Amino acid sequence: MGLLDKAKQAAEQAATKAKEGVEDVQTKRELSQSYGELGKTAYELVTNGEISDPRLDAGVAKIKALQEKLDAAGAATGNGAGAAPADPSKPPAMPT
């Protein structure tokens, strides 16, 4: 096996490992999004009184506090008037 063949084989192996790494990252991202969606659904169920579990209370309280903080900041800057509440399952908007 020549030097060029060895280099080609090494490059192919590196490409395969990189592809596997990208697939892992994509799977982890999808898993994180699924957890976020489940959390949003659980939050909505708790706030609507459809489910109740003491293990959810701290998370619900934290989300409410953070939402109130955002609402207050929006009201202070004039951006909160008439604005829809932020969707906790989506990242915040980037400043322009």
Q: What is the DSSP letter of 19?
A: H
Give the Cβ contact number of residue 40 at 10 Å. 15
What was the pLDDT predicted at 36?
96
pLDDT digits (tens, 9 = 90+) for 15-72: 888 888 899 999 999 999 999 999 999 999 999 999 999 999 999 999 999 999 999 9
What was the pLDDT predicted at 45?
97
What was the pLDDT predicted at 41?
97
| Structure token pair of residue 41 | 């659904």
pTM over 0.85: no
Contacts of 67 (CB under 8 A, 6+ apart): 85, 86, 88
